[in-house]
Amino acid sequence: MRIAMIGQKGIPAIYGGVERHVHEIAVRLVRCGLKNKECGEDCEVIVYTRKWYSSDIKELEGVKIKQIWSLHTKHLDTITHSLFSTLDAIKNRADVIHYHGVGPSLISWLPKILSPKTKVITTFHSIDRKHEKWGGFAKFFLKLGEWTACKFADQTIAVSKTIAQYCRDVYDTNALYIPNGYSNFNSWGQDNLLNEWNIKPQQYILMLSRLIPHKGAHYLIEAFNNLQKNKPELMNEIKLVIVGDGYYTEKYVEKLKEQSKNNANIVFTGFQTGKSLGQLIGNAKFMVHPSDNEGTPLTVLEGMGYKLPVLLSDIPEHLELVNDPEFLFNHGSVNSLEKKILNILEMSEEKLKGVGDANQTFVDKEYNWDTITDSLITLYKEKKTKSLLICSPLSAREG
């Protein structure tokens, strides 16, 4: 079976949730096809990558990597890359073309015309048109991409139950719920990489995210500044560490740094990976994810996998991960965020450890990449039809 992955910027995953998602499932599809004969035929997986994203490598753990030209601009990069990747996948007789994201799904009608025997799968990762970085023109086409993702695919996949419900309500499409998984980087070594930023274990709050407006870093910075001003005795030794970089959002990043310029306890590390990322996650006191819009946030899953307590905005996608009101705040409310941060800082170490342990147990069970890959293999092997079935959802988290 030849499977083409289209829509991601590329692999190996340098940054980006979609890229991490594709990386994790692609290598497992190959591994399963080669080593586990219960999966049936071998899986030949081709991941299309953008030339500007990663180095010029041809293969990763058995996954074939093919670089395809794109017009590298904010609005045309994805659509041009998806178009030329699709034409190449059709030329090479892919059995399955799997589009990742609603933007790339704008091209999902093309295999229906040029290669009717090819099975088309789309994964709906998030409602991108709600992201503030896009203007009205882009939002129109992202909305159109939602429609094509739901109407042209032989099967639409939703990474959250909320998105699956959205597909049913808005497009009358029964999307298959297959979530993201999480990756654990616990083997980070013994060298103390935290010294580079002058931070100490358990004395900082962590935000791990791309710096784009809908992720809500500006709420967190404002709340942290207020707490340092109003609760200096509690906040004196606590820092806020923001890990990540912008993506076509230079003005927003400048705004965040302007907002933080008078507070030496706010640290921007920029993009991190490998051992440094592992140490930054693993040594935090807790994680905050103040986003206004999500699919299933991989960074939160990774924080939970590291046994971190996580404080989340109360958007529906986050409620699939956490339902304890002590670890949820009213999204968009700086005042609510301040109160919840203060409450967590005053919790006992024993309670925080218990919450972190429970978080790891939960994601180990419900967000396992191997289980997710098995679900995809089953889907790929099904007879090519427009499916009307909804898979059994994973159990909701019990408090």
Instruction: Give me the sheet containing 155-158, strands edge to edge.
Output: 59-60, 63-68, 44-50, 2-6, 96-100, 119-124, 155-158, 176-177
The answer to whether residues 221 and 254 touch, using CB atoms and an 8 Å cutoff, is: no
Rounded to the nearest 5 percent, the helix, strand and coil shares of the chain are: 45, 15, 40
User: What is the three-class DSSP state of 120?
Assistant: strand
Identical fold, 2-181+368-381 and 193-365: yes
User: pLDDT digit of tens for each residue in the chain (399 aa)?
Assistant: 899 999 998 888 877 788 889 999 999 999 876 455 545 556 799 999 998 887 778 899 999 999 998 888 877 888 999 999 999 999 999 999 999 999 899 999 999 999 999 999 999 988 777 666 667 777 888 889 899 999 999 999 999 999 999 999 999 999 999 998 887 655 555 557 788 899 999 999 999 998 989 899 999 999 999 999 999 888 988 999 999 998 778 899 999 999 999 899 999 999 888 788 888 998 999 999 999 988 788 899 999 999 999 999 999 889 999 999 999 999 999 999 999 999 999 999 999 999 999 999 999 888 989 999 999 998 998 866 554 333 333 434 543
Which residues lie closer than 8 Å to 40 by C-beta, 6 or more apart? 377, 381
Q: Which CATH number does 2-181+368-381 carry? A: 3.40.50.2000
Burial class from Cβ neighbours inside 10 Å (0-12, 13-18, 19+) for residue 147 reads middle
192: tokens are 């103390």
CATH superfamily of 193-365: Glycogen Phosphorylase B; (3.40.50.2000)
Q: What residue ranges do the domains of the chain occupy?
A: 2-181+368-381, 193-365
- Whether this prediction's pTM lies above 0.75 is answered by yes
